[in-house]
C-alpha cells in the first residue's frame, strides 16, 4: 500500500542542517525590515541629527585626540549609538512576532530557536550598517571629522560588529515585554545608557562624581573599545569586563524568557 510505503520513507527523513538556518529566510527577513519605513527613518535619521547637533562644534573640530580630532571621536560615538539602536530595534521585533503567534508557528517547524536568533541578529546588522554608514557619510560630507582614512574603515567595522552584541538586549526586551511597550521602553533605556556611557558627551567631560556610574553602565565598555583604534594609549581590561558582564546578563535574560516562550500569548 502506498500510504504505508510513504510513511516508511518519511521515517527516514533527517532534520535540516544548521538548525534550519537559511539564506532565503535571511533575505526575506531583511525585506520585511526594509518595509517598515518608520523604523528605518528613525534608526537612520536620529543618529545623523544627533551628529549634526553635537558633533560639529568648532571646539571639537580643533581639539585633537589620539590620531584625529574630537569630531571624529564624536562621529564614532554617535554611530555606535545609531548601530546599537538598530540592532536592539531588530531584536525587539520578536515581541510583535510573539504576539502574532509567529514564534509559536516556528516551533512547529524544524527551525531551532538558536538558528532563528542568529538570523534575527544578522538581519538587524543590515539596519546597523545603514545607521553607521549614514553617520560616517554625513561626517565625510560636512568634512569636520579628521582621522587617517584607514581608521574610518577600522572604527566603522568595529562599531558595526560591536553593535551586534546589543541585539541580545533587544531580544531580551522583546521576549520580556508586550509589543506596545517593548520598543518604547527599549528606546528610553538605550537613550539613558548612551548618555551614561559617554556616547553623547565624552565621559572625560562628566562631573567627577558621575564618572564611576558611567563606567558601570552597559555601553561604556563597548564605546571605549570602538574608540581605541583612534585614541590609542593604554588598553584597559575593565572595558572588556564591563561589556562581558552586561552582555552575559542580556543573553541570560533572553534565554530565560525564550525557554518559556512556546506557551500561547
Partner 1 sequence: MYDLSAVRLRDVHKSFGSVHAVRGVSLSIRPGEILAFLGPNGAGKTSTIDIILGLSPPSAGEVKIFGMTPRRAITMGLVSAVMQSGGLLKDLTVRETVQYTSKLFTTRRPIGEVMERAGIEPIADRLVVKCSGGEQQRLRFAMALLPDPELLLLDEPTQGMDVEGRRDFWRAIRNDAERGRTIVFATHYLEEADAYADRIVFISKGRIVADGTAAEVKALASGRTIHATLPGADALSLHAIPGVDEVEIRGDSVLIHSGDSDAVARRLLNETLAHDLEINSRGLEDAFITLTSGVDDPRATTQRASQ
Please report which helix (H) or strand (E) contains residue 65, including its range: strand 64-65
User: Contact with partner 1 (CB under 8 A): which of 41, 53, 63, 109?
Assistant: 109
Q: Tell me if 111 contacts partner 1 by CB under 8 A.
A: yes
Spatial separation of the C-alpha atoms in residues 204 and 199, rounded to whole Å:
11
User: Contact with partner 1 (CB under 8 A): which of 41, 53, 63, 105?
Assistant: 105
Q: What are phi and psi of 206, to 5 degrees?
A: -75, 150
User: Contact with partner 1 (CB under 8 A): which of 106, 191, 249, 255?
Assistant: 106
User: Contact with partner 1 (CB under 8 A): which of 54, 104, 179, 249?
Assistant: 104
Least distance from partner 1 to the Cβ atom of residue 91, Å: 16
Q: Tell me if 37 contacts partner 1 by CB under 8 A.
A: no
Residue number, 9 or 141, with CB nearest to partner 1: 9
Q: Tell me if 204 contacts partner 1 by CB under 8 A.
A: no
User: Contact with partner 1 (CB under 8 A): which of 62, 64, 107, 259?
Assistant: 107
Q: Tell me if 31 contacts partner 1 by CB under 8 A.
A: yes
Instruction: Tell me the site size for partner 1, rule CB under 8 A.
Output: 38
DSSP class per residue in 37-55: HHHHHHHHHHHHHHHHHHT
Q: Tell me if 63 contacts partner 1 by CB under 8 A.
A: no
Cα 157 to the chain's mean position, in Å?
A: 13
Nearest to 166 by CA among 84, 89, 242, 258: 84
Least distance from partner 1 to the Cβ atom of residue 44, Å: 19
Q: What is the number of alpha carbons within 13 Å of residue 32 lying toward its C-beta? A: 14
Q: Tell me if 59 contacts partner 1 by CB under 8 A.
A: no
Least distance from partner 1 to the Cβ atom of residue 39, Å: 11
Residue with cell 554611530: 79
Report DSSP state, residue 164: G
Least distance from partner 1 to the Cβ atom of residue 34, Å: 10
Q: Tell me if 32 contacts partner 1 by CB under 8 A.
A: yes
Nearest to 170 by CA among 71, 60, 95, 73: 95
> 78 with 50: CB under 8 angstroms?
yes
Residue number, 57 or 99, with CB nearest to partner 1: 99
Q: Tell me if 101 contacts partner 1 by CB under 8 A.
A: yes
Nearest to 166 by CA among 204, 129, 212, 219: 219
Spatial separation of the C-alpha atoms in residues 47 and 68, rounded to whole Å:
21
Q: Tell me if 100 contacts partner 1 by CB under 8 A.
A: yes
Nearest to 48 by CA among 136, 109, 128, 116: 136
Residues that bind partner 1 (CB under 8 A): 1-4, 6-7, 10-11, 13-16, 20, 22, 24-25, 28, 31-32, 35-36, 97, 99-102, 104-112, 262-264
Amino acid at each position: 500500500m502506498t500510504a504505508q510505503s510513504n510513511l516508511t520513507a518519511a521515517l527516514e527523513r533527517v532534520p535540516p542542517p544548521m538548525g534550519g538556518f537559511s539564506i532565503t529566510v535571511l533575505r526575506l527577513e531583511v525585506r520585511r525590515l526594509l518595509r517598515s519605513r518608520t523604523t528605518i527613518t528613525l534608526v537612520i535619521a536620529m543618529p545623523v541629527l544627533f551628529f549634526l547637533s553635537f558633533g560639529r562644534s568648532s571646539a571639537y573640530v580643533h581639539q585633537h585626540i589620539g590620531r584625529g580630532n574630537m569630531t571624529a571621536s564624536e562621529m564614532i560615538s554617535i554611530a555606535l549609538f545609531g548601530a546599537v539602536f538598530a540592532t536592539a530595534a531588530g531584536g525587539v521585533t520578536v515581541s510583535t512576532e510573539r504576539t502574532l503567534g509567529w514564534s509559536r508557528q516556528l516551533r512547529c517547524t524544524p527551525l531551532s530557536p538558536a538558528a532563528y536568533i542568529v538570523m534575527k541578529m544578522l538581519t538587524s546588522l543590515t539596519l546597523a550598517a545603514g545607521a553607521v554608514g549614514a553617520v560616517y557619510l554625513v561626517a565625510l560630507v560636512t568634512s569636520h571629522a579628521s582621522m587617517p582614512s584607514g581608521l574610518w574603515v577600522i572604527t566603522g567595522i568595529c562599531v558595526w560588529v560591536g553593535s551586534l552584541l546589543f541585539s541580545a538586549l533587544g531580544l531580551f526586551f522583546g521576549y520580556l515585554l508586550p509589543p506596545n511597550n517593548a520598543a518604547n521602553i527599549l528606546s528610553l533605556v538605550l537613550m539613558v545608557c548612551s548618555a551614561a556611557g559617554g556616547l553623547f558627551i565624552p565621559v572625560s567631560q562628566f562631573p567627577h562624581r558621575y564618572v564611576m556610574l558611567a563606567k558601570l553602565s552597559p555601553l561604556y565598555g563597548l564605546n571605549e573599545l570602538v574608540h581605541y583604534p583612534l585614541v590609542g594609549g593604554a588598553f584597559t581590561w575593565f572595558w572588556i569586563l564591563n561589556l562581558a558582564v552586561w552582555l552575559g546578563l542580556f543573553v541570560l535574560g533572553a534565554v530565560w524568557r525564550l525557554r518559556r516562550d512556546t506557551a500561547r500569548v
